[in-house]
A and B are shown apart, each in its own frame.
Chain A
Amino acid sequence: MILALTVAIVVGTMLGALLYGKRQARAQTVTEWAVGGRRMGTLIFWFLNAGEIYTTFAVLGISGYAWAYGAPAYLAFCSVSLAAAIGYWLTPLIWAAGRDRGLITQADFFDARYGSRALSVVVAVAGIAALVIYVQIQLTALSVILQLSLGRPVSMMTSTIAAAAMMLAFVFFAGLRSAAFAAGVKDVLMLVIVVALSATVADKVGAASIIDLLHRAEATHPGLTSLPGLQPEAGLDTTWLITSALNVALGTYIFPHMFQLCYAAKDGWTIKRNAIFQPLYSLSFFFIILLGFGALLAQVQPPDGDLNAALLQFVADSYPAWAVGVLAGTACLLALVPGSVLLLAAGSIFSRNVLLPLRPAMSEKGALVASRAATVGFAAIAVYLTLGGSRSLVDIGLMAYSSIGMLAPGVFLAFLWRRTNAAGVTAGLVVGYAVLLLPGLDGLWAFFPNWEKGLVAMAANALTLAAVVLATAPRVARAAG
């Protein structure tokens, strides 16, 4: 029953998405496949954008965080609205640059703005690395879902590989337009499920109402609803919330797939309009956190204490099988759709910005083939990383944001400071990654207790960039206008 419903939802949506994509246009070129031919209107653009925000990271990750820690899950409330505030200013600039220069990827942007092929290759590789970490989130979640819906012990290895295969199938037979359709379906389904679960959750855990549920959760778990939450020793206090939220907000549109998404819009107003409504989407996190608290009251025991599985286990324990099937199917889409967009972006970056500089004679058709072959390789790396260790989806997510945040100074300052040059951006990248990755910097971290490391590394990156630019770039006269 559970499996049948899961499969029906996933296959049904995929077929619908394929039909929709076919009707729209056949992907013959990288431009069509990767940026939807640059003609996405408001509605479709909104679904694609929101689709990238409303992933397993948000639904399974945040409910799990609420279940395990409590108030630190409020991070979800800040992440979308603040990213939209930055995006309102930033994304139309990216869109315009893309239109004027015929850019397709993020590395193209660095190449065009800074005039350095070497820098653009480094940016391409850095972007792909962050995307692969993000795919790891989706694979981790998808394997949890598959293990639950198959109802019998399936090895992590089998479920992860199956998850990756599903994602690749979607990438190959679809393109950005199909993904937009599937994103719309999954968002509507998820919203219906979240509302339905929230309407019944109080009853399931013996509370009189949603408000009563909040009271009870707090009464049985003191400290749940204010920072630092249930596990003060984890260091998830207000400093953590502020620095993490800033890091996420600054990094959201720096992700290569989000950056690439900006190119796909029809015009600048489309993107700006999108920024108005994007935050409202995140109001639904109230219900997702509520469900996490519900799982806490119901004393859910997910397998191995895996907090990513808390919501699914809660539903499996308290709801009929058909509800579990619908949730599992929708959650599959939550992982598959964003995952395929991530792989799509990684593949196009690889063929354009790593391979093309090496083989300039490559045809458009050849580029498309190389792009697709690369996605298989990246999916394999993501599988390897996923099998390497089970961690909270939110933690992996914050890691991905820290990693992509290294490209943020080069993007923001491209628009803010004319003097910014390739030497500065490169030096910033080196120092930023060193701060982020080198062990033995305990002395440094002692100065920033509970800070998001990615934000500190981003600051070090930006300061280095500024210092190098001041030393190397000639002062330019400010152009009028």
Chain B
Amino acid sequence: MGGRLSRWRYLLLALPFLWQLGLAPWANGVAARPLGIPFAMFWQIAGIVFASACIALLYWMERRAARDGADDGAGDGEGSGANAGMGDGAGGR
């Protein structure tokens, strides 16, 4: 499946870290209170929804790519990559 989707797609999984941890020191100092909720708390709650959205987008991209390539063994996800890694280890015995 690596042929159709770039490895860079995994950057989507890094975005939640940027939001919830990278920007946490900044969010901690903001005085605004959206909906009356302290900002640091609001930021983390929004971060949860953001994380779900990032993962959903990635899932959607992968599902679409898997559907396009019929021979890709839908349902395996990243299975092929794992097999390669496992086989390699066993070969080193």
Contact = CB atoms under 8 A, between A and B. Distances in A.
Tell me the interface secondary structure of chain A in the complex.
helix
The listed residue with most B CB atoms (<10 A of its CB), out of A113, A115, A283, A479, is A113
A92 interface: yes
Interface string A96-140: 110111000000000011110000000000000000000000000
Contact of B51 (A84, A271, A418): A84
A82 B76 contact: no
Contacts of B77: 92, 95-96, 267-269, 271-272
B82 A96 contact: yes
A154 interface: no
Given A267-B75, A269-B74, A283-B45, A71 B89 contact: no
A86 B55 CA distance: 10
Contacts of B54: 85
A273 B48 contact: no
Interface of B: 2, 10, 13-14, 16-17, 20-21, 24-25, 28-29, 35-41, 44-45, 47-49, 51-52, 54-56, 58-59, 62-63, 74-86, 88-90, 92-93
Contacts of B82: 92-94, 96-97, 100, 415
Contact of B78 (A100, A114, A268, A283): A268
Nearest to B31: A226
Given A214-B38, A415-B82, A268 B55 contact: no
Top 4 closest pairs, chain A to chain B, by CB = A268-B77, A211-B36, A77-B44, A225-B38
A226 B28 contact: yes
Contacts, number: 170
* Range, interface on chain A: 35 or more
Given A85-B17, A238-B28, 19 more contacts: A77-B44, A81-B47, A82-B51, A88-B13, A89-B13, A93-B81, A95-B77, A97-B86, A113-B89, A114-B89, A211-B36, A214-B37, A226-B39, A267-B77, A268-B75, A272-B59, A279-B48, A279-B51, A286-B41
